[in-house]
A and B are shown apart, each in its own frame.
Chain A
Amino acid sequence: MSSYVPTIGIEVHVEIKSNSKLFSSSANTYGMATNTAVNVIDLGYPGTLPTVNKEIIRQGIRTAHILNCDITRKMHFDRKNYFYPDNPKNYQITQNRTPIGRNGYVEIEVDGVRKKIEIEELHIEEDTCKSAHRGNVSLLDFNRAGVPLIEIVTKPCIKNGKEAMAYLTKLKEILFYANISDCKMEEGSMRCEPNISISKDDNFGTKVEVKNVSSIHNVGLAIDYEINRQEEMLNNKETIKEETRRFDEKKGKTILMRVKETGNDYRYFIEPDIPYLELTDEFINDSLKSLPLLPDELREKYSKLGLSSLQIEKLINNRSLNDYFLGLLEFKTNYVMAVNLLLSDISSYLNKHNKVITDTNLSYEKLVSIIDNLESGDLSNKNVKDLIDSLMETDKSLDELKKEFKIENITDDSFIKDIITKVIENNSESVNDYKSGHDRALKYLMGQVMKEAKGSVNPKKASDMLREALNK
């Protein structure tokens, strides 16, 4: 067992959803043609002035609120000065002294133990332009210059890769559900930079920052690799330098990028082009009004409806199905059955056709009538499978489709009776099991009846008749 204690903090940048950029009215979009979502403010032209986008301040307020932070009422922006071609003003506008949120937390659970990951602060800042390196040149695309970011900084309270992954997974889920960001790490709309130090006592060791980590899983790997690397160095009496490393996925290693410049070199000062902002109670409350239910609130709500934890997690993992299901709650129906359908036949259909549920013709009324029919036995699960394409693609009602597909489950007593007699004869062992109190045998026998009838009998009726025959 190692005698070193790791201390880890994580900085996360997320791109905020909005129509326009933070300080200019250019479009805040991803995937537009190179250098077409740009105006003179994004290019830092002399004489231009930034104006603050109201929606970004609202998003900042929402983020601070959902991460349990104190919201800063009076704030300003600061200039972070550095000379680099990805930012032609030679400074980035950020919030250094008055971040919009402070002292928050995200609650995680690792191996059954709950822990609060403390948030030091979160602030709003502008993104730089995107650069691609080709040999001895770099190519710049300014579409990203001025895109709004929120940077979320934890206290150094994370102990290992597992905790880091749990925190990032939770953070991503919350920000995604609150419509703050689409949090796509592969597109760079969520970027995670852990810093890691190890120490034998209460004094922190020298911290190493890891950049360019492309997935939450890799953040975990990078952290655990870095802890081992630093332990080995200290055991070999080597000195750890304050530096920035990157994670090489293929090698599973961190690799030195550059030795870090010290904080003082950024020469922060208050951005004189933007007046102080004062957030009123009214503005804050108004911003929070549009917040939807967040994952933990959904978990509580769904568990009260009787959904299993597996169903709940599957539903929350699928935003569009989840939002659809929330709408269904306006109707009175069997919600457990509804979720079963959503996660089985409906999901298979959607995956097969690469669609989301809002692209289909499955109205709430139609879904409710499917569930009613399943409950009454007028429709079997097999019928649903047979009808699923038509149910999703046409605007015909279930009754119309039943007629069209001639689905009328046989309720003719003698037909069902014959099948039951046959099943009882062929499965004497299960019949004996049932009679000696094994209820499970009934399920098996019922399965045999439906198999024999090729799903064409009313399941409720058949089940009643089977029980009656067995109890004779």
Chain B
Amino acid sequence: MDKLSREEVLHVAHLARISLTDEEIEKYRRDLKVLMDDIDKIKEVKDFDSEMMYTPINDNTRLREDVVGEMLSAKDVGVNAPKKNGSFIEVPVMINE
């Protein structure tokens, strides 16, 4: 059975910012290949890239009026966050200079 290369899997893992064990890499070499083959099959559909594939209706310009609606409290904004710092949501530092 065809598999992705180790490098390809590591590249995808890097984009998702996750680390994988050797075992997981082997698993995804197979699993991701299956997914990609399925996607390639879909791409074979005629006019895959045409507008019809994205929207089946004409005259679909639907715009929202510029009015401010309901908003969450700072408390609710952080309710699902793993860590908070005052009203801020705290995450591991994101810059590497």
Contacts and interface: CB of A to CB of B under 8 A. Distances in A.
Interface in A47-93: 51-57, 76, 81-86
Nearest to B88: A139
A131 interface: yes
A36 B91 contact: no
B74 A36 contact: yes
Interface string B51-66: 1001101011111111
A440 interface: no
A140 B88 CA distance: 5
Nearest to A246: B97
Contact of B69 (A26, A131, A137): A26
B88 A34 contact: yes
B1 interface: no
B97 A257 contact: yes
B35 interface: no
A277 B61 contact: yes
A139 B81 CA distance: 12
A345 interface: no
Given A133-B93, A138-B94, A275 B72 contact: no
A327 interface: no
A23 to B, nearest CB: 9
Interface residues of B, number: 38
Most buried by B among A40, A53, A83, A137: A137
A272 interface: yes
A442 interface: no
B64 A139 contact: no
Given A39-B72, A85-B94, A140 B89 contact: yes
Interface string A137-151: 111111000000000
A461 to B, nearest CB: 59
Given A38-B77, A258-B96, A265 B15 contact: yes
B74 to A, nearest CB: 4
A136 B66 contact: no
B50 to A, nearest CB: 11
A140 B66 contact: no
B89 A35 contact: yes
Nearest to A39: B71
Contacts of B62: 51-52, 275
Interface of A: 18-20, 24-27, 33-40, 43, 51-57, 76, 81-86, 131-133, 135-142, 255-258, 265, 267, 270, 272, 275-279
Interface of B: 15-17, 51, 54-55, 57, 59-74, 77-78, 85-97
Given A36-B77, A85-B91, 20 more contacts: A19-B67, A20-B68, A26-B71, A27-B68, A27-B71, A33-B87, A34-B88, A35-B74, A37-B71, A38-B71, A38-B77, A39-B69, A52-B64, A81-B15, A133-B94, A137-B85, A138-B94, A258-B97, A275-B57, A276-B51
A-B pairs, top 9 by smallest CB distance, nearest first, are A25-B69, A55-B66, A54-B63, A139-B88, A34-B87, A275-B60, A35-B77, A35-B74, A51-B64
